[in-house]
């Protein structure tokens, strides 16, 4: 922007500020601090109690997701934010419908966890045209950067790499791996697949002999693992599951097949849900890479900032760890999901 134009803008805002301060000083009209119906704080900024947030959740496919939903709802309740929550039951068309209804209701901000990466351009554009910011929570969408304000979530690629490094240690750099992939086309499935391979490619004796989707659910994880066992049986040295729920389903399949999960077949998965700690205590899971679903407080903090025109980073990554059986018993009681 040209310098003199910037100066001109500054001047306009200064004049505007003087007028608004004058209006605030006048008790008869517009003193926002005295008006009990006012939805703004002293400085004209919104507070949590003024916020109306629409949230489009994917569904309830995993323990991770249930923990994520609880975190968002609890944070809204605690802060006094009005939350309009929609559960899309694993269907993108339901998410699109929900976003359109949030736009119609003129919410202040829309939070969305996109089921898959693609297919969001037009509905995000509609929100943008209506002046409603979109915050991506948990999963990214493959859209131009100007169609969303911020992404709050994990580095799924790094999670894939971490799982692979643990696998290399467990197998001593040699063995046949089967893989349970998450929901096809979703950001975590795409990145956990690629991140894992980036590390494994340097170990020619580590082979991924089968890979199929278990859609992030226990039931599907079990079903697909049964098929892997039918096809490859004793040749399988290890399982890499894109989430704990699929690993837990697969553990059942392995036991029913007559092998020992965690011993005959080493298992590494992602999320670090409570049941994964139990599986590690039972010796049936070898490691879980943490992916944090407790995003509610951070999301609402970000929503408030965005509504008040304060800058927000394009990506706010979560801080995460890897957990092993050695201290699973000690850590389990501290886990919130």
325: which 2 tokens?
């059986």
Span of 56-64, 89-97, 114-122, 309-317 interacting with ligand GYE by CB under 6 A = 56-64
216 binds ligand GYE (CB under 6 A): yes
Q: Which is nearer to ligand GYE, 102 or 156 (CB)?
A: 156
Give the bridge partners for 241, in sequence order. Answer: 180
Smallest separation, CB 249 to ligand GYE (Å) = 12
Instruction: Tell me which H or E stretch contains 313.
Output: none
- Contacting ligand GYE within 268-297 (CB under 6 A): 270-271, 291
Q: Tell me which of 65, 220, 222, 266 binds ligand GYE, using CB under 6 A.
A: 65
Shorter beta-carbon distance to ligand GYE: residue 61 or 237? 61
The set of residues, in sequence order, having a beta carbon less than 8 Å from that of 293 and lying 6+ positions away, is: 64, 65, 67, 68, 71, 138, 271, 337
112 binds ligand GYE (CB under 6 A): no
Interaction of residue 139 with ligand GYE, rule CB under 6 A? yes
332: tokens are 């389990």
Count of residues in contact with ligand GYE, rule CB under 6 A = 13
Tell me which residues in 221-260 interact with ligand GYE (CB under 6 A). Answer: 243, 245
Contacts of 143 (CB under 8 A, 6+ apart): 120, 121, 124
Q: Which lies closer to ligand GYE via its Cβ, residue 57 or residue 149? A: 57
What is the helix (H) or strand (E) element at residue 175, kind and residue range?
strand 175-181
Contact between 61 and ligand GYE (CB under 6 A)?
A: yes
Q: How far is CA 123 from CA 120, 132, 257, in A?
A: 6, 11, 46
Give the list of residues 6+ apart from residue 93 with CB closer than 8 angstroms, or none.
none
Q: How far is the CB of 139 from ligand GYE (least distance, A)?
A: 5
Q: Minimum distance from CB of 240 to ligand GYE (Å)? A: 13
- The answer to whether 114 and 277 are in contact (CB under 8 A) is no
Contacts of 214 (CB under 8 A, 6+ apart): 180, 181, 182, 220, 221, 223, 224, 225, 241, 242, 246, 249, 250
Give the one residue of 56, 57, 62, 149 binding ligand GYE; rule: CB under 6 A. Answer: 62
Q: What is the 3-state secondary structure (H, E, C) of 109-168?
A: EEEECCCCCCCCHHHHHHHHHCCCCEEEECCCCCCCHHHCCEEEECCHHHHHHHHHHHHH
188 binds ligand GYE (CB under 6 A): yes
Instruction: By CB under 6 A, name the one of 53, 54, 56, 64 that touches ligand GYE.
Output: 64
Candidates 41-49, 58-66, 141-149, 253-261: pick the segment binding ligand GYE (CB under 6 A). Answer: 58-66
Which of 65/222 has CB closer to ligand GYE? 65
Contact residues for ligand GYE, defined by CB under 6 A: 61-62, 64-65, 138-139, 188, 216, 243, 245, 270-271, 291
């Amino acid at each position: 922007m040209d310098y003199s134009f910037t100066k001109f803008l500054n001047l306009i805002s200064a004049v505007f500020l003087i007028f608004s301060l004058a209006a605030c000083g006048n008790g008869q009209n517009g003193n926002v601090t005295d008006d009990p119906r006012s939805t703004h704080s002293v400085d004209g900024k919104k507070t949590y109690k003024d916020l109306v947030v629409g949230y489009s959740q994917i569904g309830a496919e995993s323990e991770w997701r249930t923990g994520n939903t609880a975190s968002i709802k609890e944070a809204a309740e605690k802060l006094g934010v009005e939350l309009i929550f929609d559960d899309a039951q694993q269907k993108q068309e339901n998410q699109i419908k929900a976003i359109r209804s949030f736009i119609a209701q003129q919410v202040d901000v829309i939070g969305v966890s996109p089921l898959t990466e693609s297919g969001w351009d037009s509905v995000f554009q509609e929100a943008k045209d209506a002046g409603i910011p979109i915050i991506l929570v948990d999963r990214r969408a493959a859209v131009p950067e100007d169609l969303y304000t911020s992404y709050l979530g994990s580095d799924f690629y790094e999670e894939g790499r971490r799982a692979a490094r643990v696998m290399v240690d467990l197998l001593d750099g040699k063995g046949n791996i089967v893989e349970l992939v998450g929901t096809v086309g979703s950001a975590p499935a795409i990145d956990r697949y690629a991140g894992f391979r980036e590390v494994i490619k340097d170990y020619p004796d580590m082979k991924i002999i089968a890979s199929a989707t278990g859609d992030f659910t226990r039931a599907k994880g079990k079903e697909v693992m049964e098929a892997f066992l039918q096809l490859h049986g004793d040749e399988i040295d290890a399982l890499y599951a894109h989430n704990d729920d699929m690993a837990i389903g697969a553990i059942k399949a392995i036991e029913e097949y007559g092998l020992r999960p965690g011993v005959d077949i080493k298992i590494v998965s992602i999320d670090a849900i409570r049941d994964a700690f139990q599986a590690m205590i039972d010796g049936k899971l070898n490691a879980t890479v943490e992916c944090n679903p407790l995003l509610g407080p951070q999301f609402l903090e970000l929503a408030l900032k965005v509504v008040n025109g304060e800058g927000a980073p394009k990506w706010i990554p979560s801080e995460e760890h890897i957990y092993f059986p050695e201290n699973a018993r000690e850590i389990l009681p501290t886990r919130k999901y």
